[in-house]
Amino acid sequence: MGFVAFCDQLATGCVSLLQLCGLAILIAGALTYANIDKANYVMEHVNNEVNFTASPIALMVVGSIIFVIAFFGCCGAIRESHCMIITVSCTFT
77/13 Cα distance (integer angstroms): 9
The DSSP output letter for 50 is: -
Task: Specify the pTM.
Answer: 0.72
Exposed, middle or buried: residue 79 (CB in 10 Å: 0-12, 13-18, 19+)?
exposed
Domain residue extents for the chain? 3-92
Exposed, middle or buried: residue 44 (CB in 10 Å: 0-12, 13-18, 19+)?
exposed
**Are the C-beta atoms of 74 and 12 separated by less than 8 Å?**
yes
pLDDT in 10s for each residue of the chain, 93 residues: 577 667 667 777 777 888 889 999 999 889 888 887 776 666 666 665 656 677 888 999 999 999 998 888 888 878 878 888 788 878 877
